[in-house]
């Protein structure tokens, strides 16, 4: 694992955007695995700026997102499909037909998960998978305790994730209880992984993910077994690792 220590959120965002840019430049028709949440927002903003300057071309890029809330339509402003359009897809020259995200309105979980696994396979796998990390160590919506061998599946969100994500909703009651998420197996099949983390609330999860035991109770710990993982984290997210003299 390569760990890059960013000064702050902006520095983290620029470093992460640089890594994604390099992927797009080296392989213009690459498959990017994309993530939502507040952590990658700055990364997307930076990519948009470089696109506007003429430094990046997304016309051949394919993008496949990690997850989506079950029950939300793509036009619901809390859906991850909406987030992706707002933060990236509507602002760069990516072809929307080359962007993929689970369909939150499909009630038949088995059908939707199979469809999404087939989408990922048909794309030939993910070249670079961007990940955030939940305060409880989750990646995508793979909550603690879930089997590592899963591909796309329907997840019952934990209370801590519902509480953490409630800040985006008008009312906590509106936070969906279920989500479709690529599984750990799908994530681990990406050729390379870029995890971004910012803030003290991620420090413990990040420490356990990188230096702890590889256990399903810390989903991100499985990343220790992947041979091409880059972590870009700011001072606060790295604070426990630094206190322990590990970096």
In the region spanning residues 145 to 204, those forming contacts with ligand GLP, defined by CB under 6 A, are: 161, 165
* Residue 123: C-alpha distances to residues 64, 72, 96, 234 (Å): 9, 25, 15, 32
Select the residue interacting with ligand GLP from 66, 190, 205, 220 (CB under 6 A): 66
Site string for ligand GLP, 1-40 (x = CB under 6 A): ----------------------------------xxxxx-
Total residues binding ligand GLP (CB under 6 A):
14
* Order of all β-strands in the sheet with 178-181: 67-69, 178-181, 153-156
CB of 60 to ligand GLP, least distance (A): 25
Q: Which range binds ligand GLP by CB under 6 A, 47-55, 128-136, 184-192, 235-243?
A: 128-136
Between the alpha carbon of residue 177 and those of residues 100, 106, 138, 171, 174, the distances in Å are: 22, 15, 15, 13, 9
Cα(147)–Cα(72) distance, rounded to whole angstroms?
A: 25
Question: Does the protein bind ligand GLP through residue 140 (CB under 6 A)?
Answer: yes
Smallest separation, CB 94 to ligand GLP (Å): 20
CB of 200 to ligand GLP, least distance (A): 12
Q: Which residues are catalytic?
A: 67, 136, 138, 143
Contact 12, 194 (CB under 8 A): no
Q: Least Å distance between CB 203 and ligand GLP? A: 12
Q: Which is nearer to ligand GLP, 24 or 195 (CB)?
A: 195
Strands annotated E in the chain: 2-6, 31-34, 62-65, 67-69, 99-100, 128-131, 153-156, 178-181, 192-197, 229-234
Residue 87 lies near ligand GLP (rule: CB under 6 A): no
Pick the binder of ligand GLP from 141, 186, 209, 229 (CB under 6 A). Answer: 141
Concatenated DSSP letters of 75-107? TSTTSHHHHHHHHTGGGS---GGGEE---TT--
- Please report, as ranges, the residues that interact with ligand GLP according to CB under 6 A: 35-39, 66-67, 132-134, 140-141, 161, 165
């Amino acid at each position: 694992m390569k760990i890059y220590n960013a000064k702050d959120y902006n520095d983290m965002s620029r470093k992460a955007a640089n890594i994604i840019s390099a992927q797009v430049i080296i392989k213009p028709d690459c498959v990017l695995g994309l993530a939502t949440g507040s952590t990658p927002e700055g990364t997307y903003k930076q990519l948009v700026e470089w696109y506007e300057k003429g430094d990046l071309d997304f016309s051949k890029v394919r993008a496949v997102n990690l997850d989506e809330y079950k029950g939300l339509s793509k036009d619901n402003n809390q859906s991850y499909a909406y987030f992706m359009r707002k933060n990236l897809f509507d602002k760069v020259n990516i072809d929307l037909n080359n962007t993929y995200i689970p369909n939150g309105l499909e009630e038949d979980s088995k059908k939707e998960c199979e469809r999404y696994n087939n989408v990922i396979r048909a794309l030939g796998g993910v070249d670079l998978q961007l990940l955030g990390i939940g305060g409880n160590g989750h990646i995508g919506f793979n909550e603690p305790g879930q089997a590592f061998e899963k591909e796309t599946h329907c997840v019952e969100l934990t209370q801590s994730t519902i509480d953490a994500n409630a800040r985006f909703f008008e009312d906590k009651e509106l936070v969906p209880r279920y989500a479709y998420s690529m599984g750990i197996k799908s994530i681990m099949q990406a050729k390379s992984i870029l995890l971004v983390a910012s803030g003290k609330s991620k420090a413990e999860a990040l420490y356990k993910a990188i230096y702890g035991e590889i256990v399903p109770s810390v989903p991100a710990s499985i990343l220790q077994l992947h041979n091409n993982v880059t972590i870009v984290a700011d001072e606060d997210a790295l604070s426990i690792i630094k206190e322990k003299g590990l970096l």
